[in-house]
């Protein structure tokens, strides 16, 4: 990166001075990342008290303690669960303890390496449709976040329910967009940890979207059950037929619906963002874009890109991994301490809020060289992706169950795009990273797109 060592891609504006109550509320409503102190990129742990005691933990040993070794003592925060529970119920994302473990065991079979490879053709088909749409518009200026949203939703809806079911895709997609936009509106009640039964204004936006999502999912599940269409490789079939290996119990109809909605909402949102930020970084650094394109054209000069090709595209994989380091889709995790404890030599009390700012961890000078720089080659060493300071999918038993799915999809779609198209940032584009449940570019990112011979 010597050619670009003086340039860094966009980054969020973190807090440079202590925020009082009013400052935290204002910052959180504008961009949740702005409540993270800049100090968190230079220290292993930062603590304070506003409404309640809180600790931001960046220390890898401390994170391992919370996310893996003592996971039952640090459940997900009610603040985080309260935002998503209306849509996805007591699904894998929300459930705790034995209820979570049973659902996780039941769902595990749907996310094995073999199962993920078998759905590769769905991703390949979506990639080809995406390239065709963009080519037909090029040369043009496009918001690629919108294009990726369409493509990843095609994948997750086909994988979830199969392409033979008349799922109302447009309605579901609009419902999810409305839900995400409304659910992300930070409430003072959330920030102070008020009980979930106190109404939030965002429900005026999210409730109709949630009803639409649940109604359509239930219709499809009932249709599949009535027609005995539960023997395919799609996610619905795998979950509907899945049994907890310990108890032999299947998921209930409600659990099936909630988990399918979880995978639909999370499955396309996070991959969309990984792809959008990856493409931004390739437009930011044209030399790396050219290098990546050469790799794809050399290894897969023509024909369909498939899951079997991923191992031949190490540069593409490194770009996606580095994108999720600089712009982790899940940029902030929240936990609550149930116990008296000590982390990094500091006292932790029952009820303390544990904030795990993955965004700050991934840019912390204690653990990364040139932390704000775009250097995908740092992931040429496989140990880097397994570093305790790299947690784009979380860690421990509650790490993202769909991480393999997301990586396979992102590599296929990104490689297909850059093989045949050239991307540059449109004039004036300076995307702002903003946390809206996930880490999104405010107002998207517009690219000048040109076809290649």
Distance CA 295, CA 85 (A): 43
Closest CA to 91 of 82, 100, 78, 101: 100
List CB contacts of 385: < 8 A, sequence separation 6 or more. 321, 379
Assign 55 to helix, strand or coil: strand
Domains of the chain: 2-354+362-451 (1.10.630.10)
pLDDT in tens, 253-278: 999 999 998 998 888 889 999 999 99
CA 242 to chain centre: 25
Check if the beta carbon of residue 269 is closer than 8 Å to that of residue 438: yes
Check if the beta carbon of residue 450 is closer than 8 Å to that of residue 138: yes
**Helix, strand and coil in the chain, % to nearest 5:** 55, 10, 30
Closest CA to 92 of 251, 259, 269: 259
Torsion region of 437: left, alpha or beta (phi above 0 gives left; psi -120 to 50 gives alpha): left
CA angle 336, 202, 15 (to 5 degrees): 55
Q: pLDDT at position 40, please?
A: 97
Tokens of 340: 């008296």
Beta bridge partners of 37: 15
Closest CA to 351 of 335, 363, 367: 335
Residue 208 to residues 153, 176, 344, 418: CA-CA distances in angstroms? 20, 11, 45, 38
Averaged over successive runs of 10 residues, the pLDDT of the chain (453 residues) comes to 66 89 79 93 94 93 97 90 82 93 94 92 95 95 94 89 60 71 55 52 58 82 76 83 92 93 86 97 98 96 87 97 97 96 97 96 98 98 95 95 96 96 95 90 95 85
Looking at residue 251, the DSSP 8-state letter turns out to be P
Closest CA to 11 of 279, 275, 283, 280: 280
pLDDT in tens, 409-440: 999 999 999 999 999 999 999 999 998 788 99
The position carrying tokens 């000048």 is 448
């Amino acid at each position: 990166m010597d050619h670009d060592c003086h340039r860094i891609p966009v980054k969020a504006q973190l807090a440079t001075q202590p925020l009082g109550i009013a400052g935290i509320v204002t910052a959180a409503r504008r961009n949740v990342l702005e409540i993270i102190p800049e100090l968190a990129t230079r220290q292993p742990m930062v603590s304070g008290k506003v409404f309640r005691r809180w600790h931001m933990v960046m220390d890898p040993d401390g994170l391992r303690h919370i996310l893996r070794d003592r996971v039952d003592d640090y459940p997900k925060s009610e603040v985080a669960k309260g935002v998503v529970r209306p849509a996805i119920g007591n699904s894998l994302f929300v459930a705790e303890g034995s209820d979570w473990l049973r659902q996780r065991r039941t769902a595990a079979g749907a996310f094995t390496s073999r199962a993920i490879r078998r759905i590769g053709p769905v991703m390949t088909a979506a990639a080809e449709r995406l390239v065709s749409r963009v080519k037909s518009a090029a040369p043009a200026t496009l918001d690629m976040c919108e294009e990726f949203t369409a493509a990843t939703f095609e994948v997750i809806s086909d994988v979830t329910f199969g392409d033979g079911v008349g799922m109302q895709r447009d309605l579901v997609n609009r419902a999810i967009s409305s839900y995400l936009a409304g659910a992300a509106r930070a409430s003072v009640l959330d920030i102070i940890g008020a009980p979930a039964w106190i109404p939030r204004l965002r429900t005026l936006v999210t409730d109709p979207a949630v009803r639409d999502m649940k109604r359509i999912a239930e219709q499809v599940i009932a249709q599949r059950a009535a027609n005995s269409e539960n023997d395919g490789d799609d996610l619905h079939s795998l979950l509907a037929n899945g049994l907890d290996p310990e108890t032999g119990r299947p998921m209930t109809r409600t659990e099936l619906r909630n988990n399918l909605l979880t995978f639909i909402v999370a499955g396309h949102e996070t991959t969309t963002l990984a792809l959008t930020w990856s493409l931004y970084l390739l437009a930011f650094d044209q030399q790396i874009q050219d290098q990546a394109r050469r790799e794809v054209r050399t290894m897969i000069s023509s024909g369909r890109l498939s899951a079997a090709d991923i191992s031949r595209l190490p540069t593409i994989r490194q770009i996606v991994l580095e994108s999720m380091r600089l712009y982790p889709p899940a940029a902030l995790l929240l936990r609550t301490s149930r116990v008296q404890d000590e982390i990094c030599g500091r006292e932790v009390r029952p009820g303390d809020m544990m904030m795990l700012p993955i965004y700050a961890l991934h840019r912390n000078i204690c653990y990364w060289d040139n932390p704000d720089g775009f250097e995908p080659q740092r992931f040429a060493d496989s140990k880097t992706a397994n570093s305790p300071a790299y947690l784009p999918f979380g860690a421990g038993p509650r790490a993202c169950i769909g991480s393999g799915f997301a990586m396979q999809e992102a590599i296929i779609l990104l490689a297909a795009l850059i093989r045949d198209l050239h991307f540059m940032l449109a004039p004036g584009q300076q995307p702002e990273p903003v946390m809206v449940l996930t880490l999104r570019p405010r107002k998207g990112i517009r690219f000048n797109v040109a076809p290649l011979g």
